[in-house]
Structure 1
């Protein structure tokens, strides 16, 4: 039985006050992780620990150190108590030009430092319209398997985020999202020795308390990667209660 997981991706938003608000909130019995901007990571770890919330990094470089102004390594965030790290978020791919090869290298670096990777995969609107959604996602998964190995799927999480649903208030239908989760699970079963039923796959893409109830009912959806709605602590708490009501 896969336990549910709900992640709050604040993107380039949030504050120490929002961390404090999360720490003061009464959370249901569900695994929660918060991914604040990098300047807040060190302070968020002890603050959110009091509420039983883990902390994740939104981005890390695949290299351990060097003359790379502005970058941070997986080892650095691990040292301040961070547990998770995102890799491959659609905004990193589209806005910053990150390639699948770089995402795979990040997954390898994340694993090597003892962090848990949250690998984000998803198709664009043109890819879906052309009937290439499954192929596009499979190619992203294959890059990671070839570079970082199947350990990513055995020890990490996968976040399916259809690019056309990110930040636009239009979530995928529950059936469509579940179908893609099932396809990802089936691909892992074919391509690796990992038990596909053990792999935790969460959905990201305009999740809110209005659509979370229908989405979480689907058998292959194990939780959420929540963006804008996570900036409202009460709204995020409502989503968590939907996932695992007390």
Structure 2
């Protein structure tokens, strides 16, 4: 991104642009762990942004484990080696456009549903149950549109995934769901054959099965839910 383009952006947007540009440079040039990118001053001069803006960009990159800052003589900004989970997240973010289809994401998501449901049934607490029931009841709102139903659906599944203590499972599942949501939200045409009432009942039973702590009941509820996912816009 050019200096002129950076100048027209808000401070937070400019910081994000600088961070993204540096991150892309690290990837494109294959810079390895320990490579010195320069001093903070030299990098800031390269992008011609305010000190506060550049410091925010550095904070973002540090939080993503992309860089480390070393003080003193010979110090500066260095490429870091992100932990495996961070690299997984970055790879998920790189999968976009034509390289990934909604159908592929839904297939993998469906494969993860039993694990998510098992964990939710095992680890849910009173607060989880209350919030899951509240989210499920949104689907029973009178005259609910297909788009609103999908938003309620996704919100419920995100909350179910939030119960699991397996961070890899949670991260992977939520990444897939968010990708599907980003591709379908606002562009899904109403489907005359979609029975929102049936979908709402299936999701209510899924929540009640999780609340019961009965693994067998949860498995049956998940089977009924799987029947709703034959189309990408119904899960």
- TM-score, reference length from structure 1: 0.26
Could you say which structure has the higher helix fraction?
2
Q: Which has the larger radius of gyration?
A: 2
Report 1 or 2 for greater relative contact order, CA contacts < 8 Å, sequence distance ≥ 6. 1
- TM-score, reference length from structure 2: 0.27
Could you say which structure has the higher strand fraction?
1
